[in-house]
Amino acid sequence: MSQNDGLFPSELTVEFISWLAARSLEGRIFWERGPHLISTTVTDQSVMVQFVTSLSVTGEEAWRLLTICDPTGGELYRVTEASAAVDTWSVDRAVDMLFFAAATSSRVQ
Q: Is the pLDDT of residue 89 over 90?
A: no
Q: Which of 3-6's residues contact partners 24+ apart within 8 Å by CB, and which partners?
A: 3/75, 3/77, 3/78, 3/79, 4/77, 5/75, 5/76, 5/77
Least confident of 24-38, 67-81, 82-96: 82-96
* Chain mean pLDDT for the chain: 82
Residue 69 vs residues 26, 41, 76: alpha-carbon distances, Å: 23, 9, 5
Q: Is the pLDDT of residue 38 over 90?
A: yes
Residue ranges of domains in the chain, CATH in brackets: 3-106 (3.30.1120)
CA–CA gap between residue 26 and residue 22 (Å, rounded) = 6
